[in-house]
Amino acid sequence: MQQEKLRTEAENTLRQRTLELQQLTETLEMRVQERTAELAAMNEELKAENEERLRIEIELRESENHLRELSTALLSAQERERKLIAQEIHDSMGASLAATKFKVETALTELGNDSPQTRAALESIIPIIQGTMEEARRIQMSLRPSMLDDLGILATINWFCRQYESIYPSIRIKKEIDVQEHEVPNSLKIVIYRVLQEALNNIAKHSRASVVLLFLRKNSQTMELTIRDSGQGFDLEEAFSRKGTTRGLGLDSMRERVELSGGSFLIESKKGAGTVLRATWPLNS
Ligand SMILES: Nc1ncnc2c1ncn2[C@@H]1O[C@H](COP(=O)(O)OP(=O)(O)O)[C@@H](O)[C@H]1O
Ligand SMILES: [Mg+2]
């Protein structure tokens, strides 16, 4: 009897435990299912997020390309426009001034030695016309040196430096040009000229330098333009953090022109230690 009772009790306990175990297993399975579903949902979310990021990246790249195309178009439109204005100045103003000068000189010849007062008045006009002609020529050349198209970049660099040194006699330019005209890709000529123009204007305006070193050289892979001054230098961070109207456009536009023409642009400057600008273009020969 006693034994029978004990066995029934043991059996009951076993049944109870088995039931509990079954319930536990069921709960565990449910938990695993829930968790798996959660993970799957998270995975989906991540995938969607990733796809979204990829889409945005592609859009960004497209709009960057678009922007680059726009800037290139804008720059070439600007160059075309400048060329046109320079031509207009040459053809209209230049021609009228030359005609005026010719007429005054003719009047002077016809006058001979009569009316010395009129003669003096007419004579005083000639240097004014001459000065205006030179000014027109200067404006025309700074808009777009026709020399660039007619004689090439090397002649234009030489002319520009000569003219610059005569305007700023305290600054000497030491040139080292180690390339031939035909080695400079046509598309780079105007870029080189514009960078040189802005860099040298900055040197006159800001650097107080007395010597400028100008290098144009190439190796088998790259062409490099370097403009180094021995002036007072400047704080790059400060210059680039300037906002609004106090911020110049020169440095940015040099960088833009160089990068849009496929090159890279580097500025090094330190207060008291001068400034170096370097533009490097890959040559695909
Ligand atoms: N060669 C240089 N030497 C000293 N400072 C310079 C030189 N080039 C540029 N800078 C500094 O960088 C600033 C930005 O130049 P830039 O963008 O050409 O504008 P801007 O010439 O109109 O001031 C200048 O205001 C000047 O402080
Ligand atoms: Mg400037």
Domains and CATH numbers, the chain: 2-138 (no CATH), 152-282 (3.30.565.10)
Q: Which ligand is nearest to the CA of 232?
A: 1
How far, in Å, is the centroid of ligand 1 from the Cα of 248? 7
- Output the residue whose Cα is nearest ligand 1's atom 20: 248
Tell me: pLDDT of 263 over 90: yes
In this predicted structure, which of 53-57, 100-104, 134-138 has the lowest mean pLDDT? 134-138
Is it the case that residue 195 has pLDDT exceeding 90? yes
Place of tokens 């949902």: 41
What's residue 248's pLDDT? 80
Which residue's CA is the closest to the ligand 1 atom numbered 11? 234
Task: Give the ligand 1 atom nearest the CA of 251.
Answer: 17
pLDDT of residue 112: 87
Task: State in Å: Cα 253 to ligand 2 middle.
Answer: 9
Per-residue pLDDT tens digits for 71-92: 889 888 998 999 999 989 989 9
Q: Please tell me the predicted confidence (pLDDT) of residue 52.
A: 96
The answer to whether 211 and 230 have CB atoms below 8 angstroms apart is: yes
* Residue 231 Cβ < 6 Å to ligand 1: yes
Residue 225's pLDDT band, with cuts at 50, 70 and 90, is very high
Cβ of 203 closer than 6 Å to ligand 1, yes or no, is yes
Q: Nearest ligand to the C-alpha of residue 275?
A: 1
> Does 234 contact ligand 1 (Cβ within 6 A)?
yes
**235 CA → ligand 1 middle, Å:** 10
Ligand 1 test: best mutation among 206, 243, 252, most atoms within 8 Å of CB? 206
- pLDDT, residue 138, reads 85
Asked whether the predicted pLDDT for residue 98 surpasses 90, the reply is: yes
- Segment 32-38 mean pLDDT: 96
Which pLDDT does position 247 carry in this prediction?
Answer: 83
Q: Is the pLDDT of residue 285 over 80?
A: no
What distance in angstroms lies between residue 248's CA and the mean position of ligand 2's atoms?
6
Q: pLDDT band at residue 284, thresholds of 50, 70 and 90?
A: confident
Q: Are 254 and 196 in contact (CB under 8 A)?
A: no
Can you tell me the distance from the alpha carbon of 214 to that of 225, in angstroms, rounded to the nearest whole number? 8
In short, whether 195's Cβ falls inside 6 Å of ligand 1 is no
- Model pLDDT, residue 175: 97
In the chain, which ranges are E strands?
A: 172-177, 211-218, 222-229, 264-269, 275-282
Judge contact between 80 and 122, C-beta under 8 A.
no
| Structure confidence at residue 104 (pLDDT) | 95
CB contact at 8 A, 199 and 254:
yes
pTM of the prediction?
Answer: 0.74
156 lines ligand 1 (CB under 6 A): no
Q: Which residues contact 22 (CB under 8 A, 6 or more apart)?
A: none
Residues 6 or more apart whose CB falls under 8 angstroms from that of 87 comprise 146
